[in-house]
Amino acid sequence: MITVKEAVGADLTASAWVTQHAPKIPRGGRVMDYACGHGRHTFWLASQGYEVLALDQNQDALAAVAEKADQLGLPVKTQVIDLEEDNWSLAGSEHAKAYDGLIVTNYLYRPFLPRLPELLKDHGVLIYETFAQGNEVFGKPSNPDFLLCPNELLGFAGNMQILAYEDLEIHSPKRACIQRICAVPLQSKT
């Protein structure tokens, strides 16, 4: 049997931010890897015992994720979805308040950013990490549409309890300006 590392490869190593904060997600819980790409977090989370739904709009990438997950016997489901369609198809669906964890990395689509917490259970954990202004000096992404403004993640997470937040320049795995947050929904008082 091949290992996760052998199947996925070093180029798909999980983010240190994700691996640091994932233990806050209840063990064995349901996790959505939103805009999963080639599945680096999908595979890592599933290998840690989480049930993972990998979402992306790239059918070929998701087919490869599904095939690798099957080879490894990992609890992964995939769903092709247009992450930028006009009406957010995840709203009011079986995905609403269904996840113990939500992972988003290297992806930004501002119109749906405030809606992401709708996917989390009351004690669900959001782990989000993407590029920020200043990254243009290091290469792509350099388009302002794909770079967070200073403290932008804090603003969107105003209805959440912030467990950890950083807005910084990193040097590994490559130099980049990023913002990252780990947060849980505020509990409503009824």
In this prediction, residue 33 carries a pLDDT of: 98
Task: Report the side by side order of strands in the sheet with 99-105.
Answer: 76-80, 51-56, 30-34, 99-105, 120-131, 176-185, 160-170
pLDDT tens digits, one per residue of 87-142: 777 867 788 889 999 999 999 999 989 889 999 999 999 999 999 999 999 999 99
Indicate the pLDDT class of residue 5, thresholds 50, 70 and 90: low
- In the structure encoding, which two tokens stand for residue 164, read together? 């950890």
In this prediction, residue 168 carries a pLDDT of: 94
What average pLDDT does the segment 73-86 reach? 91
Q: 92 versus 78: which is more confidently predicted?
A: 78
pLDDT tens digits, one per residue of 53-64: 999 999 999 999
C-alpha to C-alpha distance for 138 and 105, rounded to whole angstroms: 18
pLDDT tens digits, one per residue of 42-56: 999 999 999 999 999
Q: What are phi and psi of 95, to 5 degrees?
A: -85, -15
The CATH code for residues 4-185 is 3.40.50.150
